[in-house]
Amino acid sequence: MRKIIKYALLLLCIVMMKVNAQEKKTLPPDFNFLPSTEVDVPDSVWVFFRKGPLVNNQSGERMKIKPNVDGSFSFSPSFIQPVYWFEIYFMYYKSRQRAKPATYYAEPNDQLKVIYAKAADTGKGTIPKMKLTFSGKGAEKYKVVELLGKIKTDLSRSLNEDAKKEFGADSKTKDDKIGREGYYKSAELKVYLNSILEKVKGANRQSQDTLLKYKSLIGNNITNYLSYELSSSGYFSSWIDYLYRIGNSPNFRQTITDFYFLNRNSVIKEVSDPLVKYSKDYKFNKLLEIKYETGFRNKGKSLPYYKLYDAVKAVKNSGLRDILLSYLMYEPVFTNRITNTDSQDSCIRDALAVIKSPELLEPVQEQLLFFRGSQIPDFTFVDQEGKPTSLADLKGKVFMIDFYFYGCKGCIAYAKRFKEEIYPEFVHNPKFKVLSVSVDKKREHWISAMNSNLYNERDYINLSAGNLSWKHPFLKHFNRASFPFILLVDKNGRLISKIENESSPVIADFIRKSLNEKNSK
C-alpha cells in the first residue's frame, strides 16, 4: 500500500511539473476577433506585427485574413519577443477603401477575445471606424493604451485651440502677430510659451498617474514601456518647431528656441529601458526631436546632412544610437529639411563602421546602392504599343524615372508637385526626359492612370513594367516594393539621387547642375 501511495505521489508530482512547465512556456499572443451585431464585416483584414529594432515596413510579419462567414477571424504572430507593436486594417474592396488602422501592443502569452464594432463617431455613408473591446488574459493593457491615447489626443486638441486664440486661423494673422514690434519679448508670448510647457507636463503627469493606477494589473515591463512609448513629451519639441517655422523674425526664433533649451530637460527624459528597441512611436519622436533641435541650433541656415547625422551619433545610449542611425538612413521624413546632401555618402560609410548589429547594418548597406555616381542597372520597359525603352535609349539625357501604381496617393502627390514646381523649368529642354513607369499588373489600371493625368503627362515617356510589376529586375536590384520610387539619373546612366522628401528647389538644383555638367567618357 505504501508503494502504491509512493508511486501515486510521484505520478502526481510529474503531472504538476508538466502543468507548471506548460504554464511557464512562452507563447506568442493569440487573438480571436468577433463582430458586434451592428458592423459591416470587412472583405479582409490585414495585420502587421513589427519584429525587432527596425521600424521599416519590411521588418515584421504581414497577414492577410479573410473573415469567416460569421465575421470572426483569428491570428497570432509566428515569432516571440518581449513586446509587440501591431496594426490592423479592416479592408473594404468594393469601395477601394480601408478603415483607419488600429494600433496596439501585445505581450507573449496574451490570450485575447476582441469584439469589433462600428465606432459611434463614424460618419453616415463612410467606411466604419472600428471600436475594439478586449477581454481575456492581457486585456488590461488595452484599456491603458486607450486611456493614454486619449490624453495625447486631448493635449493635441488643446494646443491647437490655444494656437488659434494666440495667432488666429490664417497665415496673415500669424505673420502680423509674430512680426509685431516687440512681440518676441512681450509678456504675452511668455505666457503662451509657458502654457505649452505646462500643458505638456500636465499630460505627462496624467499619463504617469494612469500607469501607476494599472501597474499591478499590467506589470512592470509594459508599464515602463508605455511610459515612454506613449509619452506626450514630443509635443513640446514639435510645437516649438511649428512656431519656429511660422515665424520668420530672427528675434522671435531666438526667443522660442532659448525657451525650449532652457526647459527641455524638465519635459524630455532619456530612456535606458532595454525594451526601447521594440518601440515605434518613441524612436520616431526621438529622431524628430533631434531633427528639430539641429534646426534650432543651425539658426535657419543651410543645413548639411552631416550636422543631423552627427547629432544622432551623439546619443549616449549606444544601443539606441545605432537604431536611430539606421532609422535615419532609410526614413526620408527625417531628412526633408536637409539642403545639402554632399556629405551623405561619407556619413553612410561612417555609420557602417559605427553600427555593430548585422540587423541594423542591413538597411544602411542598402543605401550603398544609392551612392551618387553609381551606375544604375540596365532596364527595359514598354509603352502602350509594346515598343521597348532601355537605358541605352537615354544616353546623353538627364532623366527622372518615376515608378507608381494606380490608386497610390503618395504617387499622385509627388506627380502634382513635380508638374507644378519643377517640370516647367525643364519642359522644353531636349536633354531632360521623364520616364513614368506603371507597376500595375492590370493593363486597364495603367491606362486609367494615364487617362486621369494625375500620375504623369502626355509628353513623358509613359511605360509599364508589365506582368513583372514590382518584381521587375530593376526594382529588385534596389529592393523596392513601395512607391513612389523615384531616381534622378545623369547623362551617363549614373545615379544623381534617389528622390524621397527633398524639397522642390533641391530637386530642381540636382537637375540643373547635371544638365550643365559636361559629358564624361
Model pLDDT for residues 464-495, shown as the tens digit of each residue: 999 999 899 999 999 887 899 999 999 999 99
Question: Over 50: is that where the pLDDT of 293 sits?
Answer: yes
Strand blocks (E) in 8-72 = 30-35, 44-50, 60-65
Helix or strand (DSSP H, E) at 461:
strand 461-464
The answer to the question of residue 191 being in a domain is no
Q: Give residue 170's pLDDT band: very low, low, confident or very high (50, 70, 90).
A: confident
- Which of 35-39, 105-109, 352-356 comes out lowest in average pLDDT? 35-39
pLDDT in tens, 204-224: 999 999 999 999 999 999 999
129: domain range? 30-137
Final residue belonging to a domain, choices 137, 162, 197: 137
- Give percent above pLDDT 70 in the chain: 91
Rg (CA), the chain: 27
State mean pLDDT over 505-517: 92
Whole-number Å distance between alpha carbons of 489 and 481: 20
> How many domains is the chain built from?
2
Q: Phi and psi at residue 408, in whole multiples of 5°?
A: -80, 110
Strands 485-489 and 495-499: what pairing? antiparallel
In one-letter notation, the amino acid at residue 370 is F
Cα–Cα nearest to 243, from 254, 228, 232, 230: 254
The answer to the question of residue 426 being in a domain is yes
The answer to the question of residue 350 being in a domain is no
Final residue belonging to a domain, choices 116, 137, 158: 137
What's the confidence (pLDDT) of residue 122? Answer: 60
Q: Are 342 and 333 in contact (CB under 8 A)?
A: no
State mean pLDDT over 64-93: 93
Query: Cell triple for residue 115?
Result: 469584439
pLDDT in tens, 438-452: 999 999 999 999 999
State mean pLDDT over 282-294: 95
The answer to the question of residue 404 being in a domain is yes
The answer to the question of residue 365 being in a domain is no
The answer to the question of residue 159 being in a domain is no
Q: Give residue 521's pLDDT band: very low, low, confident or very high (50, 70, 90).
A: very low
Question: Over 80: is that where the pLDDT of 126 sits?
Answer: no
pLDDT in tens, 320-372: 999 999 999 888 788 888 888 889 889 999 999 999 999 899 888 888 888 88
Give every strand in the sheet of 461-464, ordered side by side.
388-390, 380-382, 461-464, 432-438, 398-404, 485-489, 495-499
What's the confidence (pLDDT) of residue 5? Answer: 65
Range list of H helices, 81-186: 140-167, 171-178
State mean pLDDT over 159-185: 85
Whole-number Å distance between alpha carbons of 359 and 325: 13
Whole-number Å distance between alpha carbons of 343 and 508: 19
